[in-house]
Amino acid sequence: MSKVYAVNTASAQKANINREEYAALYEFSIRDPETFWSEQAKKYVDWFTPWQNVMDGDLQEGNIRWFHDATLNVCYNCLDRHLPEHKDNTAILWEGDEPHENEKITFQTLHEKVCQLANGLKSLGVKKGHRVCIYLPMIPQAAIAMLACARIGAVHSVVFAGFSAHALRERLIDADCSVLITAKEGRRGGKTIPLKDNVEHALQKCPCIQQVIMVDSPDKTYLDCKTLMDSMPKDCPAEPMQAEDPLFILYTSGSTGKPKGVLHTTAGYLLYTTMTFKQVFDYQPSDVYWCTADVGWVTGHSYLIYGPLSNAATTLMFASTPNYPDASRIWQVVDKHQVTILYTAPTAIRALMRDGDDYVKKTSRKTLRLLGTVGEPINPEVWEWYYHMVGEGRCPVVDTWWQTETGGIMISPLPGATELKPGSATLPMLGIEPALLDEQDKEIQGPGTGKLVIKKPWPSIMRTVYGDHKRFLETYLKPAAGYYFTGDKANRDEDGFYWLAGRLDDVINVSGHRLGTAEIESAIVSHKAVAEAAVVSFPHDIKGEAIYAFVTPITGITVDDNLMGEIKARVKHVIGSIAVPDIIQFTSDLPKTRSGKIMRRILRNIAHGELQDFGDTSTLADPTIVDALIAQKPALK
């Protein structure tokens, strides 16, 4: 039996939804989704003109549309509508890499800056539907750039600043971006991130880019962002957008091929992120909300920028790491800015837990009332530490399960409504109907383990893979006909609570970063000395999963530390530091079936240190390879 924490009565007193309301509303949202979503749409979003249909299309065909024909603007919802009442409230609270670097931006100022950049983009010829790439560190200009695009109907594609020149170029070309907004450099954890060098490298073979705007470097070669903005009026009308007009593209890794440009549209995404932000974080007007995610990932889109700002919340944007200059930084920031809601990743909590309780205890944290996690499973003992040590048993922990593709949180406790079980993401959001499928794709009833799928479209489901609708259908809608296929495995217990149990495909999750093993393999084999590579993950105390690469050099190559270093550098060059293997094992061959298929199961066993039981190996072309791999396995550090 897993441990259960009852609904926290202190937090329940002012919660947005209580237990009975959740149960009744959930039942209603599934029984009558049209009415449910129509009511939510009126409650959470300001529309320019109303819709004809709440939803049309289905998960068979993938032609999903929400609020078709309505018009609205996401930026208007995040800024303009708050000005009458909240113009002097802080919208963005920025904490730089060094503790003395701080900035407060009110809704009024943010509105002006966004309008100026929006006008600046227009002056460069950017129009509705054009793609603008944003490659920036965690600075307010990243939020300003996203909102400016949304204001004029340009589609942004934010590329995480940790990605390499090669990865940036690939994304610029795939989305056919005409403008790039970037910076000379970023600072994180005391280190410099050389963005401009990457940009220059990326642009060498990137004809689509016509303008580069630099936010921090007056340089003759590029447009200076400040000069551009200063010359522009502080007002810019928010473009009326159709509900299904694209809002942004965000690249994410899959099990095969190059990263996919996940496309989200306007109305459904805004409604869903606005509603779930309010409900999951139990947002109240006096809260100071801090999501530690980078803008380069979906959490940074939905719950650092759009969800909070649409709710007129104060969102803290943090440019550093939780443990710089030391492991109490995160808690010091909480105290300094009187943070009430903290949303972070299990990998960060594990690292802070390892550093010891003293760093936590020397801070107050008394303003905190809610804690959240996202991106990977949280081990129950880490959950308990977060709950007891950080939150002193006072703050509910919301373990939120969702994906880049889902746009917003799909399974999570609602504070005040849901009992908590450490390690479980608990129950579905309103309007979300998950199911578990068995091997035959039959729905499992009651408790069980299976493929996690979603039964009906929800407003923020991705609409397509940019430029490749077939891939969207094949990856998400065909694997289990009639359902949205998540790629995750899950258990459901006797109370209907969901427990995520890892991926079903070759996607790995390193420190909450999603990586495709195929992507890393192709980066490794792009080294001239490599003939073949196979990448698997292995459990890691801090990162959750770490990367183990089996590499076969071409005949005649001497294997040494030098080659190992070169291969790591190659991966860093092609993707970025986040994808560099923790372990490289050289091998003269890989375990393959007689038809030439690599038996990854065997490689996983070896990487996990499970060296005894390999199951059925009779289909291997050369069974002796397994013994050789075991004998040469490097010691885990």
Distance of closest approach, residue 621 Cβ to ligand PRX, in angstroms? 32
- The secondary element (H helix, E strand) that includes residue 226 is helix 225-230
The verdict on 376 binding ligand PRX (CB under 6 A) reads: yes
Q: By CB under 6 A, which span of 56-64, 230-238, 399-407, 539-547 interacts with ligand PRX?
A: 399-407
Please, what is the minimum distance in Å from the beta carbon of residue 451 to ligand PRX? 12
Strands 544-553 and 530-540: antiparallel
Binding range to ligand PRX, per CB under 6 A, among 10-18, 131-139, 237-245, 369-377: 369-377
Contact set for ligand PRX, span 243-262 (CB under 6 A): 252
CB within 8 A of 56, min separation 6: which ones?
63, 64, 65, 68
Out of 212, 215, 371, 374, the only residue in the binding site for ligand PRX (CB under 6 A) is 374
Q: Which residues contact 135 (CB under 8 A, 6 or more apart)?
A: 158, 159, 161, 163, 168, 180, 181, 182, 183, 195, 198, 199
Least distance from C-beta 298 to ligand PRX, angstroms?
5
Nearer to ligand PRX, 120 or 372 (CB): 372
Residue 110 or 507 having the CB closest to ligand PRX? 507
**Taking contact as CB under 6 A, which single stretch among the options 5-13, 484-492, 545-553, 591-599 is the one that binds ligand PRX?**
484-492
- C-alpha separations of 130 from 149, 160, 517, 629 in Å: 9, 20, 32, 51
Report d(CA 292, CA 319) in Å as an integer.
Answer: 9
Identify the residue among 400, 424, 475, 587 touching ligand PRX (CB under 6 A).
400
Q: Which stretch binds ligand PRX (CB under 6 A): 320-328, 352-360, 482-490, 601-609?
A: 482-490
Contact 2, 494 (CB under 8 A): no
Q: For ligand PRX, which is the closer residue by CB, 113 or 260? A: 260
Contact region with ligand PRX (CB under 6 A), list: 156-164, 171-179, 237-245, 402-410: 402-410
Q: Based on the shown chain and the rule CB under 6 A, indicate whether residue 545 belongs to the binding site for ligand PRX.
A: no
Q: Which is nearer to ligand PRX, 122 or 471 (CB)?
A: 471
Lay out the site mask for ligand PRX across 492-531 (x = CB under 6 A, - = otherwise).
--------x--x-----x----x-----------------
Site stretch for ligand PRX (CB under 6 A), options 50-58, 93-101, 208-216, 398-406: 398-406
Selection from 64, 37, 92, 433 nearest residue 271 by Cα = 37
Closest CA to 154 of 267, 274, 249: 249
Nearer to ligand PRX, 282 or 376 (CB): 376
| 408 touching ligand PRX, by CB under 6 A | no
Stretch that binds ligand PRX, among 112-120, 368-376, 471-479, 524-532 (CB under 6 A): 368-376
* Helix or strand holding residue 333 (H, E): helix 329-337
Tell which positions 154-193 bind ligand PRX, by CB under 6 A: none
Measured between alpha carbons, how far is 601 from 351 in angstroms, rounded to an integer?
A: 29
Of 78 and 500, nearer to ligand PRX (C-beta) is 500
- Torsion angle, alpha carbons of 496, 382, 612, 518, to 10: 80
Q: Decide: is 209 part of the binding site for ligand PRX (CB under 6 A).
A: no
Pick the stretch among 177-185, 277-285, 370-378, 584-592 that binds ligand PRX (CB under 6 A): 370-378
Among 95, 112, 282, 488, binds ligand PRX (CB under 6 A): 488
460 part of the interface to ligand PRX, by CB under 6 A: no
- The owner of tokens 């549209």 is 265
CB nearer to ligand PRX: give 228 or 490: 490
Residues 6+ positions from 444 with CB-CB distance below 8 Å: 435, 436, 437, 438, 450, 492
Structure-token match 């068979």, residue found: 60
- Please state the closest distance from residue 293 (CB atom) to ligand PRX, in A: 8
| Residue that is written with structure tokens 């303003």 in the block | 367
489 scored as a contact of ligand PRX (CB under 6 A): no
What is the distance between the alpha carbons of residues 117 and 229, in angstroms, rounded to a whole number? 5
Q: Count Cα neighbours of 326 within 13 Å in the Cβ-side half-sphere.
A: 10
With a CB cutoff of 8 Å and minimum separation 6, the contacts of 347 are: 375, 376, 511, 512, 542, 543, 544
| Cα separation, 158 vs 145, whole angstroms | 10
- Unique residue bearing structure tokens 């372990």: 583
Q: Are 93 and 104 in contact (CB under 8 A)?
A: yes
* Residue 402 binds ligand PRX, judged by CB under 6 A: yes
> What is the smallest separation between the CB atom of 531 and ligand PRX, expressed in angstroms?
31
User: How far is the C-alpha of 26 from the C-alpha of 148, rounded, in Å?
Assistant: 35
In this complex, which beta carbon is closest to ligand PRX, that of residue 376 or of residue 582? 376
Q: How far is the C-alpha of 280 from the C-alpha of 399, rounded, in Å?
A: 10
**Alpha helices per DSSP H over 450-492:** 469-472
Beta carbon nearer to ligand PRX, 51 or 318: 318
- 80 vs 203: CA distance, rounded Å: 36
Residue 420 interacts with ligand PRX (CB under 6 A): yes or no = no
Find the shortest distance in angstroms from Cβ 193 to ligand PRX: 20
When binding is defined by CB under 6 A, the residue of 72, 298, 523, 606 that contacts ligand PRX is 298
User: Which residues contribute to the site for ligand PRX (CB under 6 A)?
Assistant: 252, 298-299, 374-377, 399-404, 425, 486-488, 500, 503, 509, 514
